[in-house]
Amino acid sequence: MEQRISLITLGVSDLKKSRAFYDSLGWKTASEDMAEEIVAYDLNNMTLALYPFDKLMADAKLTFEKPAHSAVTIAYNVRTEEDVDATLAEAVKAGGTLVKAGEKVFWGGYSGYFADPDGNLWEVAHNPMAPLGPEGEFQWKGCSGL
């Protein structure tokens, strides 16, 4: 298996509401072809998809009740501490919930959390030991002190 992730799919309770949230963040959908069934956003080197939770569970042949918050955190790294606070405020304005305000953290950076309308947790972080590339790409290599 190659070391990569192609697609992350978030199970959502209301596809239109979730799409409105991510669209409000300025994200552009990859295609309108199946927008009533699944919404996809192409990112740097991968895609984030939104898919109704019940259909996701049926596809995986699972019976599972949706928790209030996800057990996975999606990280969005930014270039400065100020960008952390601005991004958290933008997410809240778009309809997200502030889970933890930006603050200095044990590993030497600055981060906070928001939840999207379905409780999917997003960490917004500035990591001074791992500057982002020109296209916003993050690489764990070179993270000192972690």
pLDDT the model gives residue 22: 97
pLDDT the model gives residue 26: 95
Q: CB within 8 A of 97, min separation 6: which ones?
A: 114, 115
pLDDT the model gives residue 114: 97
Q: Which residues of the chain have pLDDT under 50?
A: 146
**What's the pLDDT tens digit per position in 92-102?**
999 999 999 99
pLDDT the model gives residue 32: 76
Number of residues in the chain: 146
User: Is residue 112 a contact partner of residue 102, using CB atoms and an 8 Å limit?
Assistant: yes
User: Which domains, and CATH codes, for the chain?
Assistant: 7-59 (3.10.180.10), 73-126 (3.10.180.10)
**What's the pLDDT tens digit per position in 40-55?**
999 988 899 999 999 9
